[in-house]
C-alpha cells in the first residue's frame, strides 16, 4: 500500500458521527434520555390504546436508564468488563519481559491533551512509563541514539491553534528525562486521530528512516500504552507490520477531592466503565474494518 492510500484509509470514520454516538451511548446522554422519558411520560394522564402503550414503554425506559446508571457506577460492572483486557495486556507485557535493553524505537501513544498544552492523565501515565524505561535501559554511556516517537494528533479539533498531543508529550518527556547527556532522538507523529492512525502514520515515519530496501520488513519497537488499551494497540500495530515489545503504563487511581473509587457506586467508576466500553466497541469496530 502506498502512502497516498494509507492517508486516505486512516481516520475515515466521520468524527462528528462518532462524537454523537459516544455521547448517546458511552457517555451520559442515553442514560439521561431514558430517565427523562420515564419521568415525563409517566406524569402525563393515563390514556387508551397507543397512549397507554407509550406510557408503559416510557416506564420501562426510565427503569432501564436507572439500571444503566447503577450498572455504570458499580465496580462489579467495571471490573467484569476490564478483566479480560487487563489480562491480555499483562500477557503481552510478560511476553516481552520488560523489553530489556531493546534498541528501539520506542513508540508512545497519546492519551489526550488540553488545547492549552497540558497532557491528559493517560498521556502523563504513558510518558512517565517511557521515561522510567529509558532511564533503566538507555544509559548515558550508550553508543547509539535511542529514537522515541510520540504519536498523537490535534488536542482539539475545534481549536486550530491547539498543539498536538505529540508536541505536548515531547515537551513533558524531555523534562522527565532531564539533560544528563543521553543520546535520544525525539520524533513527533501529530496527525493521528485514533489507534489505527497511530500505527499507520508511525509506520510511515519510521519506514522512511529505514535503510534502502528494508522498508517492507517488520519494524521492532517498544510500544507504550495503557494496560486496557494494549490488546487493541498491539493487534493494530501488528497489522501495520510492527513487531512489538509491550510496555504497560501503570494506571493512576483518579481522585477528585473527596470523590474516589471507594464504595459501591461512584462517578469515577462510571467514567472507567465508559472508557472500557469504548475499548470493547473499538475492538469490534477495528475487527470489522480489518484494522486489527
User: Structural domain boundaries of the chain?
Assistant: 88-250
Complete DSSP assignment for 99-148: -TT----EEEE---B-TTS-B-HHHHHHHHHHHHHHHHHS-TT-SSPEEE
Predicted local distance difference test score (pLDDT) of residue 5: 36
Burial 179-216 (b: 16+ CB within 10 A, else e): eeebebebbbbbbbbbbbbbbbbbbbbbbeeeeeeeee
Mean pLDDT of the chain: 82
Predicted local distance difference test score (pLDDT) of residue 205: 95
Predicted local distance difference test score (pLDDT) of residue 219: 92
Q: Which residues of the chain have pLDDT under 50?
A: 1-9
Q: Give this prediction's pTM.
A: 0.83
Query: Could you give the CA distance from residue 18 to residue 70 in angstroms, rounded to a whole number?
Result: 25
Predicted local distance difference test score (pLDDT) of residue 96: 92
Beta bridge partners of 147: 185
CATH number of 88-250: 3.40.50
Predicted local distance difference test score (pLDDT) of residue 18: 59
**In degrees to the nearest 10, what's the CA dihedral of 138, 144, 147, 148?**
20
- Grid cell locating 210: 529505514
Could you identify the residue written with the cell 427503569?
A: 63
Backbone angles phi, psi at 149, to 5 degrees: -105, 120
Amino acid at each position: 500500500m502506498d502512502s497516498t492510500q494509507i492517508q486516505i484509509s486512516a481516520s475515515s470514520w466521520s468524527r462528528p458521527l462518532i462524537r454523537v454516538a459516544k455521547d448517546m451511548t458511552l457517555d451520559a446522554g442515553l442514560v439521561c434520555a431514558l430517565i427523562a422519558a420515564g419521568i415525563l411520560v409517566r406524569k402525563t394522564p393515563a390514556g387508551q390504546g397507543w397512549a397507554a402503550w407509550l406510557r408503559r414503554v416510557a416506564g420501562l425506559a426510565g427503569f432501564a436508564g436507572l439500571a444503566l446508571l447503577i450498572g455504570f457506577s458499580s465496580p462489579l460492572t467495571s471490573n467484569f468488563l476490564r478483566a479480560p483486557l487487563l489480562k491480555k495486556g499483562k500477557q503481552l507485557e510478560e511476553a516481552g519481559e520488560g523489553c530489556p535493553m531493546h534498541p528501539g524505537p520506542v513508540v508512545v501513544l497519546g492519551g489526550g491533551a488540553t488545547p492549552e498544552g497540558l497532557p491528559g492523565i493517560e498521556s502523563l501515565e504513558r510518558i512517565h512509563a517511557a521515561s522510567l524505561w529509558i532511564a533503566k535501559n538507555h544509559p548515558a554511556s550508550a553508543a547509539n541514539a535511542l529514537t522515541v516517537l510520540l504519536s498523537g494528533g490535534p488536542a482539539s479539533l475545534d481549536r486550530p491553534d491547539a498543539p498536538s498531543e505529540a508536541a505536548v508529550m515531547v515537551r513533558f518527556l524531555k523534562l522527565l528525562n532531564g539533560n544528563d547527556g543521553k543520546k535520544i532522538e525525539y520524533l513527533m507523529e501529530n496527525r493521528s486521530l485514533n489507534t489505527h492512525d497511530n500505527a499507520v502514520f508511525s509506520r510511515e515515519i519510521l519506514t522512511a528512516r529505514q535503510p534502502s530496501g528494508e522498508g517492507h520488513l517488520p519494524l521492532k519497537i517498544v510500544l507504550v500504552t495503557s494496560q486496557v488499551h494494549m490488546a487493541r494497540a498491539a493487534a493494530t500495530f501488528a497489522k501495520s507490520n510492527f513487531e512489538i515489545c509491550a510496555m504497560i503504563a501503570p494506571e493512576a487511581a483518579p481522585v477528585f477531592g473527596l470523590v474516589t473509587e471507594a464504595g459501591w457506586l461512584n462517578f469515577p467508576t462510571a467514567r472507567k466503565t465508559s472508557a472500557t466500553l469504548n475499548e470493547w466497541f473499538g475492538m469490534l469496530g477495528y475487527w470489522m474494518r480489518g484494522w486489527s
